[in-house]
Chain A
């Protein structure tokens, strides 16, 4: 897993605009405006997660049923 630096303002704005346009399409322009703060936070979260470079072995967690390394305490 590799973490590049944080997003630039331009990357944040681009991510927001992409999500905002999807919101306007699904919920309408009025609701998209009501969602603005949430869309800003979610778009940054999506873009940051997308910037992480995972290796193929780093699988999703879902139900977190693995014992800790070295076995359960």
Chain B
């Protein structure tokens, strides 16, 4: 059975129904990785033995009638800045090339607890903030795969696995997902623990993931969301949970869809003509499906939110790396060096002003979004740029990430030059269920079926 395009939900169902064993699911994933990853370079470490051992354990449990959880037997990838017990976690840096954590990050422990099989570690941009990685975009090797969760996006797009974890400080999940034609989801800041994730910025970093469908994003959210006292940003939120079940709740009127706000201003101006035309087609399709779309007025605090993000991220990154950088600066790449050295120069007052503005922007956005289900906008200025010296423009993501808002990208088509296009939806804080429901509605209306890129098939 060809599992290269099987979703998380489908793979889990096949394993649960004993049509495919966990060992077969993992063996099949490993052979797809072997076939194309020599060229694509999505994986930093493939834990072949460990994955087969986990699969064997899952099959033994299934034989006893014991299903470990909703991800029983599903192979997944983990970005290489997220700690995995006994599996090398390099942060994409030579400094940590031999680092083998003793413990799993909270999200990895939760995945394992739900029955997922950890295939290995996907390539990250150095410390999730440095120069472009060696990973190639499977749609066209001359175009950037995006970053910093480059390997996770390429692994899912190339059919290596149905899901992979990433992290986002600006656009590091949504952007590579969009550039590679997969679904990328970043939950509300604070709902998913970052314990065991190497920090870029403590007050901005969020764990997110790439999948093939919105439903899969919700299934993984059910597994990963939850309070963790070891993460100071973690919130105890009564409304968390049952994200997959809430997808099918009838939240909209008969024959109607979600109420969506369109963002104009600088985002619209930065969007390519081709992407604007594509957005217009998508919006028309949604309108015909009973969707309510209106222009959304961005609050005045939006004016300086990218300034706030720049200062907060640089200062926190400089502090996170203070000790290592003072001893081993020569082992850092050029982009990481620039960020750390700049961060060390910025005054404390600017940092606090950034945090004040950030809180106000979040409040303004929650208020502005109160009567809407989500915002809708292009997932990027256009398809992945034909430029391997960049991972793309973070402008389409950084305001929402800085505000801690949930965001998701859904693939919606292919550009004239054969690269994926997608839309991004941004929801209210803590209303991840509402955002996922709206995204699923958009996914169904657009009815775009992602295909496997030819370069992933050929290797």
Q: Which residues of A contact B (CB under 8 A)?
A: 1, 3, 19, 22-23, 26-27, 31, 34-35, 38-39, 41-42, 44-46, 48-50, 52, 54, 58-70, 72-73
Compute the total of residue contacts between A and B using a CB distance below 8 Å. 130
Known: A70-B370, A73-B428. A60 touches B310 (CB 8 A): no
Q: Min CB distance, B455 to chain A, in Å?
A: 33
B239 near A: Cβ within 8 Å? yes
Contact partner of B239 among A44, A69, A70, A73, CB < 8 A? A73
Q: Collect the chain A residues with CB atoms within 8 Å of residue B339's CB.
A: 38
- Within the assembled complex, what's the spacing in Å between the Cα atoms of A35 and B367? 39
- Of B238, B344, B350, B431, which one neighbours A45 at CB under 8 angstroms? B350
Q: Would you call the interface of chain B mostly helix, strand, loop, or mixed?
A: helix
- B350 x A50 contact (CB < 8 A): yes
Decide yes or no: A73 and B434 within 8 Å by CB, A38-B338, A52-B353, A62-B203 being known contacts.
yes
Report chain B residues within 8 Å CB of A59.
Answer: 356, 359
A68 to chain B, nearest CB (A): 4
CA A28 – CA B341 in complex, angstroms? 11
15 more A-B residue pairs beyond the given contacts A19-B345, A27-B341, A62-B355, with a C-beta to C-beta distance below 8 A: A38-B338, A42-B314, A42-B345, A42-B346, A49-B311, A54-B353, A58-B356, A61-B358, A63-B203, A64-B203, A64-B358, A64-B362, A65-B233, A68-B366, A70-B370
Q: Is B232 a contact of A63 with CB atoms below 8 Å?
A: yes
Contact code string B347-364 (vs A, CB < 8 Å = 1, else 0): 101101111111110110
Q: When chains A and B are docked, how far (Å) is the Cα of A70 from the Cα of B429?
A: 12
Instruction: Knowing A42-B314, A45-B311 are in contact, say whether A65-B190 is a contact too (CB < 8 A).
Output: yes
Which segment of B165-173, B288-296, B297-305 sits at the interface?
Answer: B297-305
Distance between Cα atoms of A73 and B431 in the complex (Å): 6
Give Cα A67–Cα B238 distance, bound, in whole angstroms. 11
Which residues of B come within 8 Å of A, CB atoms?
189-190, 203, 232-233, 235, 237-239, 300-301, 303-304, 306-308, 310-311, 314, 338-339, 341-342, 344-347, 349-350, 352-360, 362-363, 366-367, 370, 403-404, 428-431, 433-434
Most buried by B among A34, A44, A45, A69: A45
Residue contact A3 to B404, C-beta cutoff 8 Å: no
Measured CB to CB, the closest approach of chain A to B241, in angstroms, equals: 13
Bound CA span A28–B434, Å: 51
Say yes or no: A73 contacts B430, CB within 8 Å. Answer: yes
Complex: how many Å from CA A34 to CA B429? 39
CA distance A23 to B340 in the complex (A): 12
Known: A38-B342, A68-B366. Is A45-B428 also a contact (CB below 8 A)? no
> Are B345 and A58 interface neighbours, CB within 8 A?
no
Q: Which residues of B contact A64 (CB under 8 A)?
A: 189-190, 203, 233, 358-359, 362, 403-404, 429
In the complex the two chains form, is A60's CB within 8 Å of B355's CB? Answer: yes
State which of B304, B308, B367, B433 has its C-beta within 8 Å of the C-beta of A3: B304
Chain B residues whose C-beta falls within 8 Å of the C-beta of A66 in the assembled complex: 359, 363
CB-CB under 8 A from A65, the residues of chain B are 190, 233, 235
- Known A-B contacts A34-B338, A60-B352, A62-B203; the reply to A26 vs B358 at CB < 8 A is no
A61-B402 Cα distance, complex, nearest whole Å: 10
**Smallest distance from the beta carbon of B59 to chain A beta carbons, Å?**
40
Shortest C-beta distance, B199 to chain A (Å), equals: 13
CA distance A45 to B105 in the complex (A): 34
Tell me the nearest residue of chain B to A68, going by C-beta: B366
Which of A34, A42, A69 is B370 in contact with, Cβ under 8 Å? A69
Contact B357 A45 (CB under 8 A): no
**Contact between A72 and B237, CB atoms less than 8 A apart:** yes
**Chain B CB within 10 Å — which of A58, A62, A69, A73 has the most?**
A73
Known contacts A72-B237, A72-B238; is-contact A52 B304 (Cβ 8 Å): yes
Alpha-carbon gap, A61 to B190, bound state (A): 13
Q: A45-B310, A68-B429, A69-B363 are in contact. Are A22 and B345 (CB under 8 A)?
A: yes
Option from A39, A48, A63 in Cβ contact (under 8 Å) with B190:
A63
Instruction: Tell me whether B203 and A61 are in contact (CB under 8 A).
Output: yes
B307 close to A60 (CB less than 8 A): no
Judge whether B310 and A41 touch: CB under 8 Å.
yes
Q: Which of A3, A44, A49 has the most CB of B within 10 A?
A: A49
Closest to A70 in B: B370
**Looking across the interface, which residue of chain A has its beta carbon closest to that of B238?**
A72
CA distance A48 to B346 in the complex (A): 13
Question: Which residues of B sit under 8 angstroms from A49, Cβ to Cβ?
Answer: 304, 307-308, 311, 350, 353-354, 357
Cβ-defined contact, B349 with A50, below 8 A? yes
**Contact at B356–A31, with CB atoms within 8 Å?**
no
Q: In the assembly, what is the distance between CA of A16 and CA of B392, in Å?
A: 25
Measured between alpha carbons, how far is A46 from B338 in the docked complex, in Å? Answer: 17
Is the beta-carbon distance between A61 and B356 smaller than 8 angstroms?
A: yes
CA gap between A70 and B431 in the complex, in Å: 13
